[in-house]
Structure 1
Amino acid sequence: MSDRIAHPGLRAKVMTADEAATFVNDGDLVGMSGFTGAGYPKVLPTAIAKRAKEFHDRGDSFSISLLTGASTSAELDGELAEADAVKFRAPYQSDPIMRDKINSGQMKYADIHLSHLGMMVQEGFFGKMDVAIVEVTKILEDGRIVPSSSVGNNVEYLDAADKIILGVNSWQSEELEGMHDIYRIPLPGHRQPIPITEVGDRIGSPYIDIDVSKVVAVVETDSPDRNAPFKPADETSKKIAGYFLDFLEGEVRAGRLSYDRYIMQSGVGNVPNAVMAGLLDSKFENITAYTEVIQDGMLDLIDAGKMSVASATSFSLSPEYAEKMNREAKRYRENIILRPQQVSNHPEVIRRLGLIATNGMIEADIYGNINSTNVIGSRVMNGIGGSGDFTRNAYISSFISPAVAKGGALSAIVPYVTHTDHTEHDVMVVITEHGYADLRGLAPRDRAEKMIAIAAPEYRPLLEEYVDRAGQGEFLQTPHELAHVFDFQKRFVETGSMLK
């Protein structure tokens, strides 16, 4: 038995994953740890999927409602989806098997702002939580737990659940102890200002205290987090990163930013990591990050002395960098803080700190509305994640994307988005490999001119044609030609390309 379980009563509850899975029943609401492929429970989801298949083989029903922090991995979402073990999912997913189940109507999915989910559980919006399954690094003698590589909504799930199953993962570095900052946000009517005024402020405890009497099982594992490696930056990513840095330089020249006062938030992916690679050779120093996830590029900035503090709720590291974090967690915990996502994504703190938010998108329209989640309107790709939390409340909100996808068949700039996640009121800057559109302070028709300028050259005449036709109508504040507003998307469905 692992020496990571110091509490005598919980040592007595160590069992196999198959044994622990029997505490999860048909119809249960289950909260699991996990955020962007980090800190999710290992082996237990597979055991629950196996249990579901056994029920189905007997002709019995078995499905659960599943809540996590954000996306997880194929070991969790994929296994459970393949076993038809999930009837409802929130708040975010990105697994291809689960995506297919959702889009075919076999699974219900609620796309929810990540800062909202913990409070909704506290308030009982989803009903009573039956089971919390949470991965931890260590259990202390008094029953407090050391979180693993993500915090997410673990605190809210552990507090709300009738039963708790802990997964003690000895792959996670014991030196993560001290990196976390656990702070509980009370329900409305009992709240005080969150006392974070600088990115590096620690306001809570390194541990999560739990009701030990609710723990029904402890499962030992030694399995790595399974994040996919990031691709090397291609020319398009490098161009987008270059224009983003040009935008930052323009803010410095305008006196709205200084080289030692850049606070960043970044979505996950290859382009954001290319941006961070560009920052290595920039004039910016003492960079800080108040964000959701710690990515490879942030570790590089910390190693180079360019980033002083990074605050998040989880890691999203390539396998190589995850191993590096495990080896050097003691050093990195001087620069990294992992918080509950109610705190990492909290609008109050985001607004106070004055950070610059950068997120990805599927499409943007000529007036600045953004679709982050759905292809051609109704085919969900993932979820809104925390991009709404940061976009609405950041000092400057920006979106980055290549101008085309699928070999040029899809334009990221369209007359009108088929699904709106971020309205024109919240979107300030949009960047592609053709430049950046600064939309701040502009009326809709002026925004259209800026947006068309950053579209792929082959799509600009079509966008200009649409604007000309829409401008011949009677109402000209935000001109649209309703009969043709979705021509780009309809052409793609009918012909396989948005181009004529």
Structure 2
Amino acid sequence: MADNFQSLSRIKCKELHSKLMTPEAAAALIPPGATLGMSGFTGSGYPKRIPGALAERIRAAHAKGEAFKIKLLTGASTAPELDGVLAEVDGIELRMPFQGDPVCRKKINAGDINYIDIHLSHVTQQVQAGYYGKLDIAVIEVVGIREDGSLIPSASVGNNKTWIEQADKVLIEVNYALSEKLEGMHDIAGTPLPPHREPILIHKTDDRIGDPYYHCPADKIIGIVETNDRDRVNSFSEPDEVAKKIASHILNFLKKEVEKGILPPNLLPLQSGVGDVSNAVISGLEHGEFENLTAYTEVIQDGMLGLIKSGKLTKVSATALSLSPEAVDDLNENIDFYRERIILRPQEISNHPEVIRRLGTIAINGMLEADIYGNVNSTHVMGSSMMNGIGGSGDFARNSFLSFFVRPSVAKDGDISGIVPMVSHVDQTEHDVQIIVTEQGLADLRGLAPRQRAKAIIENCAHPDYKEKLWDYFNRAQESGAQHTPHILSEALSWHDKYLKTGSMK
């Protein structure tokens, strides 16, 4: 994209003008073996130019036979301009805490990148405690620098406060593609290591406890790069019929919970993962009967902007905006309206168990597979290959008032069942999973013992092609051995084994 900004117009602190440089000059300040904390959360707010320049530097070093890799820490997934380019040149030694790039994924599963997949709410305290060694350089995207040197956050917050505080040096990308009027939307606060913690005083979704800006000493900033590049987020397609059916099951369930008096008429704060089902649920809410909704979540997608515009959703707290180009235009054109209704926080706050438990969120997250007792695999294909990561689903699953896990009942044209005898990898144990939903139906597992859960999941969630096989496994498991959670260990993972050998679980 051509640079059509006026140089220095968003860098209002004159003390920092001398630090303006090219992306190549900034990348030259990053030494081999460095540990970098980069901004970015779900394809939003990541640095756009420095990673590419760094990748070219690494490529040139490798061509000369020189070793050059870095350790890369972010908020969550980024984009091809960051994860992709650095993975392509074999420039990443270690990656954490979440990724979604196909090139990066391929390198992880080939054993070329060491990947540490952790709960997003845990990142800050682990970095503060030194689990990953010294943080050498932070590379942070902002939309502007104020006269006093404070930094105006961009479209995501993630771990940026932590990176700025913990890094020895800081590189800044000032991005002109987003409106400066994002200023004021953010609430930047954090928590120290124990024993110095105090309660996080968020009692409502829109409570503010921090500052709208990042703060970084001027002498810590070693370079500033100006950009005018949008986030790489694709336009969202309309949810398919499977996603609409799953959403319908969820919305009907919530309606009944209101009728029973378990939920208030405006529900509880919503948390929803990224994807088609989430968009289908949001679409259903926009045209449904619930009013005065709130959300305490991680990511705001296109659907939530529509829900805000409709007046159904009054306040949203998140850590990132993950918007299509069309939605970015809408945001920029109506920024004053949205700024009054959206708060962006660090992920240690957006995902903090204390706040999630206090607010009583309704969590809706995706999964790769569930077993008949309610254990969920969110991350590993066939037990060994990493897909993306656990992200924040565990933060919300364990601490929400209601915890849904959703997916279609089959994949790969029916050759993989979403419901299996035993999951090939466990991310969310049966203790954290309350409700499982596929297009086939909904299994409410609350108050059920293991064998009761199995019956509910098989009957309501399994695809017809696999239901009889699941009943056969469960019934035979009950004929011998202990009866609390009946299993046939020699067969428990046989479905996965059969798929790997034949290409189908059928």
Q: Answer yes or no: is 1:459 the counterpart of 2:466.
A: yes
Structure 1 Cα separation of the partners of residues 158 and 332 of structure 2: 19
Contact 1:113 1:384 in 2 (8 A): yes
The correspondence for 1:317, drawn from 323, 326, 331, is: 323
* Structure 1 position 90 matched with structure 2 position 62: no
Partners of 1:129 and 1:393 lie apart in 2 by 30
Give the 5 Å matches for 1:108-123. 108-123=114-129
Q: Which amino acid aligns with 2:148?
A: D
**Structure 2 partner of 1:274:** 280
Counterpart among 225, 233, 236 of residue 239 in structure 2: 233
Cα deviation digits, residues 67-115 of structure 1 (max 9, x gap): 0000000110000000111000000001000000000001100001000
Shift of 1:184: 2.2
Match of 1:335 in 2: 341
Structure 1: gaps (5+ residues): none
The question of 1:214 aligning with 2:185 is answered no
Residue 485 of structure 1 pairs with residue 492 of structure 2: yes
Identity %: 53
SS in 1 for 2:334: helix
* Whole-angstrom CA distance in 2 between matches of 1:401 and 1:359: 9
CA distance in 2 between counterparts of 1:128 and 1:474 reads 51
> Is 2:439 the partner of 1:433?
yes
State the alpha-carbon separation in 2 of the partners of residues 111 and 119 from structure 1: 15
Q: CA RMSD in A?
A: 0.8
Per the alignment, residue 353 of structure 1 pairs with 359
Aligned to 1:252, which of 258, 281, 287?
A: 258
| TM-score normalised per structure 2 | 0.98
Aligned to 1:164: 170
Q: CA deviation at 1:65?
A: 0.4
Aligned pairs (5 A) from 1:62-73: 62-73=68-79
Distance 2:316 2:401 in 1: 18
- Residue 231 of structure 1 deviates from its aligned partner by 2.0
Q: Residue by residue, what CA displacement relative to the aligned partner does 1:26-49 show, whole Å, maximum 9, x if unpaired?
A: 110000000001100011100000
Report what 1:38 is aligned to: 44
Mean CA deviation greater in 114-123 or 424-433: 114-123
Q: 1:242 aligns with which of 237, 248, 254?
A: 248
Q: Compute the TM-score of the two structures, normalised by the length of structure 1.
A: 0.99
Q: CA deviation at 1:282?
A: 1.5
Q: Distance in 1 between matches of 2:312 and 2:160?
A: 31
Match of 2:370 in 1: 364
Aligned to 1:394: 400
Shift in Å at residue 281 of structure 1?
1.9
SS of structure 2 residue aligned to 1:241 = helix
User: Structure 1, residues 312-345: CA drift from partner, whole Å, max 9, x if none?
Assistant: 0001112211222122222101100000000000
1:205 to 198, 203, 211: 211
1:469 to 476, 479, 483: 476
| C-alpha distance in 2 between matches for 1:170 and 1:191 | 37
Residue matched to 1:29: 35
Q: Secondary structure in 1 aligned to 2:303?
A: helix
User: CA contact under 8 A between 1:286 and 1:308: conserved in structure 2?
Assistant: yes
User: 2 CA distance for matches of 1:43 and 1:113?
Assistant: 28
Q: Deviations over 1:346-384 (max 9, x none)?
A: 000000001110000000000000000000001000000
Letter in 1 for 2:215: D
Q: Does 1:152 align with 2:158?
A: yes
Q: C-alpha displacement at 1:487, in angstroms?
A: 1.5
Q: Paired residue for 1:191, among 184, 190, 197?
A: 197
Q: What's the offset of the Cα at 1:278?
A: 0.5
Q: Does the Cα contact within 8 Å between 2:258 and 2:267 map onto a contact in 1?
A: no
Q: Is the 8 A contact 1:259 1:283 kept in 2?
A: no
| Pairwise CA distance, 1:11 | 1.1
Q: 1:31 is paired with a residue of what secondary structure?
A: strand
Aligned 8 A contact 2:39 2:141 in 1: yes
* Distance in 2 of aligned mates of 1:216 and 1:12: 10
Which segments of 5 or more consecutive residues in structure 2 lack a partner in the other structure?
1-6
Write the letter of the residue equivalent to 2:303: G
